[in-house]
Amino acid sequence: MLRSLLTAASGMKAQQMQVDTIANNISNSNTTGFKKNRLSFQSLYYQTYRNQGAELGSGIVDATGLQVGSGTQVAGSAMMMEQGQLELTGNSFDLAIQGEGFFAVDQPSGETYYTRDGSFRRDQNGQLRTANGGTLNPPITLPPGVMAINVSEAGVVSYITDTGDNQTAGTIQLTRFPNAMGLHAEGANLLSETASSGAPTI
């Protein structure tokens, strides 16, 4: 009886984690650059009472054996990297990535994180930053008097000054990983490199 309760409890625990994951995916459905998670499950150990092919006597062989499982557990979670829906915002500093890649963002703490969230803003010094204060790496700085900006498909950021001159501010570089699903979620739409993700490349 106790064993059956433990087996059932393992299923409830696994399903609770599944519900929590689904709830988090739904609650972030409007979060810019969010990638949903999906859990995978695996069975726990089996107790073998009789092996397949065991002799039952009189030359009879057990065709199926007798094993009883002890429940289930969450084997892991995977970040799904499908292309999200693009939305026109009318803000020149809102950028979207089509295909693979991440923006590299330097944090005030000195760490470099990665994100698909391209909702940038210009600070008092003209630098493009994320909502939590991270700066693009390499940095993009726009001087005062910018009348309009343009970002090409190659990531080249150009702008028109108040005198009508067309200038280039730099190029936004995208970072890729051998296994992007191995990145670690830090919160605030930020991801960090792990041994599983592999080293970043540009």
- Average pLDDT on 135-142 reads 93
Q: What is the CA radius of gyration of the chain?
A: 26
pLDDT score at 171: 94
Q: Provide the whole-model pTM.
A: 0.82
Give whichever of 17-26, 63-72, 89-98 has the largest mean pLDDT.
17-26
The pair of three-digit structure tokens given for residue 34, joined into one six-digit string: 């969010």
- Average pLDDT on 80-89 reads 85
pLDDT score at 182: 93
The pair of three-digit structure tokens given for residue 200, joined into one six-digit string: 């970043």
Interval 155-202: pLDDT, tens:
999 999 888 888 899 999 999 999 999 999 999 999 999 999 999 998
pLDDT score at 1: 63
Q: Which of 93, 80, 138 is nearest to 112 (CA)?
A: 138
pLDDT score at 53: 85
74 phi and psi, to 5 degrees? -75, 120
- Average pLDDT on 88-104 reads 90
- The secondary structure of residue 23, as a DSSP letter, is H
As a whole number, the mean pLDDT across the chain is 91
Q: Which of 86, 140, 119 is nearest to 190 (CA)?
A: 119
Q: Tell me the C-alpha distance between 3 and 19, whole Å.
A: 24
Q: Tell me the C-alpha distance between 132 and 104, whole Å.
A: 14
